[in-house]
Copies of this chain bind each other. A is one copy, B any other.
């Protein structure tokens, strides 16, 4: 509740239009309700804004507004507050929609379009911009990626942080309008003036402010945003959101095998109501079952155990992916995942060792079990600190020996029926990696 009290800034979302270019998708629902990886566009906007600390929303509705209201309600289910503003003139320009909010917003506010999705990071920074006596700050992209449709985009000419021209047909421009604003109530006066002069677009209002040197531009740098006004752009957005799931710390097996499969799986799973922590538990129980299969000792169950361990490792990626795609990340979830992974690792290694013991009764297996177990633990134990420190120091160039690699080795070893060798290899490489980290970090941290 504290964050609500501290972050009083409200956001206005324009969701009145139909989206002509998306007419196939907007026959029976407004553009704002188009589904993108398990969430409607407007839910993505609200949840990204919430992540940036905004908890109160005004939404201007028009075309099929009832459907938006039915979907979002008063915002309770997102732990935010939502009020609606009706715009029966939704066929007019979007400036008219913004103007409908005049009576509701007497202080500075964030202005968002329901068809532009973006990284929360942008809003976090924008909120900190001092508006002073400017009428608006518009987020602009100075290096639009290739997937941004330049033809349809609103162009902006920026000089020393000030907007000096804006429009779709601008020839001389150096930035693209991202559809994300920080506004003062001055924007309403500018819109009134612009509409009176016959321009009903939001850009018209900004143009008036720009003329008076009251419109600033805020460079979003490399942050992600995309304008969704065609079916292709929706598909592209999905592709990009999925691509962003690959972490810079992903190991080689995660990158080449696990992610390609787990992201495809997550893409399906986001559309059913499955909680990330539930996936965490599924992956854990698969690993436990894998350990049980290993412990039986015979080749068939050992090979199956190995394959199951790898499957569990792949599914283990889905919890985080779904959480990130659906704004359901939680520090408890991340922690639970790590803790259960450690138990799963240990159980699988113990299962392998016991299975081998049953058949061969060779005490050496317990030594190797011990080495592989402590080594795997220590790699995980040191990884957080190690990653945190090296994130800022230099990119990693060596092979990352994470859980992805360990589980893959276990699968290979069990299919080849080489349990002892697998434990030996795991024990050696994980412990060497731990020792390497202890030595390398010595010079890096104090």
A interface residue numbers (CB < 8 A to B)? 330-332, 335-336, 338-339, 342-343, 346, 350, 353-354, 357, 363, 366, 369-370, 373-374, 377-378, 380-382, 385, 434, 438, 441-442, 445-446
Q: How far is the CB of A228 from chain B (nearest CB, A)?
A: 30
The answer on a CB contact under 8 Å between A335 and B441 is: yes
Contacts of A336 in B (CB 8 A): 438, 442
Q: How far is the CB of A280 from chain B (nearest CB, A)?
A: 11
Contacts of A438 in B (CB 8 A): 336, 339
Contacts of A369 in B (CB 8 A): 366, 370
Contacts of A366 in B (CB 8 A): 353-354, 357, 366, 369
**Known contacts A366-B366, A385-B335; is A330 also within 8 Å of B446 by CB?**
yes
- Complex Cα spacing A91 to B343, Å: 69
The answer on a CB contact under 8 Å between B332 and A346 is: no
- Complex Cα spacing A342 to B380, Å: 12
Contacts of A446 in B (CB 8 A): 330-332
The answer on a CB contact under 8 Å between A330 and B363 is: no
The answer on a CB contact under 8 Å between B382 and A339 is: yes
Selected contact of A445 from candidates B335, B381, B442, CB within 8 Å: B335
- Complex Cα spacing A354 to B368, Å: 13
**Known contacts A342-B381, A354-B366, A363-B357; is A445 also within 8 Å of B374 by CB?**
no
Chain multiplicity (copies): 2
Selected contact of A342 from candidates B339, B374, B385, CB within 8 Å: B374
Known: A331-B446, A339-B438, A366-B366. 16 other contacts (CB 8 A): A330-B446, A332-B441, A332-B445, A335-B385, A335-B441, A335-B445, A336-B438, A336-B442, A338-B381, A339-B378, A342-B378, A343-B374, A346-B373, A346-B374, A357-B363, A377-B381
The answer on a CB contact under 8 Å between B377 and A350 is: no
Contacts of A354 in B (CB 8 A): 366
Q: How far is the CB of A3 from chain B (nearest CB, A)?
A: 12
The answer on a CB contact under 8 Å between A370 and B350 is: yes
Identity of the chain B residue whose Cβ is nearest the Cβ of A382 in the assembled complex: B339
- Complex Cα spacing A441 to B335, Å: 10
Q: How far is the CB of A226 from chain B (nearest CB, A)?
A: 29
Q: How far is the CB of A402 from chain B (nearest CB, A)?
A: 16
The answer on a CB contact under 8 Å between B339 and A381 is: yes
Q: How far is the CB of A323 from chain B (nearest CB, A)?
A: 12
Contacts of A434 in B (CB 8 A): 339
> Which of A335, A350, A378, A382 gathers most chain B CB within 10 Å?
A335
Contacts of A331 in B (CB 8 A): 445-446
Q: How far is the CB of A335 from chain B (nearest CB, A)?
A: 6
Jot down 12 A-B pairs with beta carbons below 8 A, ordered by A: A330-B445, A330-B446, A331-B445, A335-B445, A336-B438, A336-B442, A339-B438, A342-B381, A353-B366, A357-B366, A369-B370, A377-B377
Identity of the chain B residue whose Cβ is nearest the Cβ of A384 in the assembled complex: B384
Identity of the chain B residue whose Cβ is nearest the Cβ of A374 in the assembled complex: B346
- Complex Cα spacing A73 to B343, Å: 54
- Complex Cα spacing A113 to B176, Å: 60
- Complex Cα spacing A336 to B378, Å: 12
Contacts of A385 in B (CB 8 A): 335
Q: How far is the CB of A371 from chain B (nearest CB, A)?
A: 9
**Known contacts A350-B370, A370-B350, A373-B373; is A378 also within 8 Å of B343 by CB?**
yes
Identity of the chain B residue whose Cβ is nearest the Cβ of A354 in the assembled complex: B366
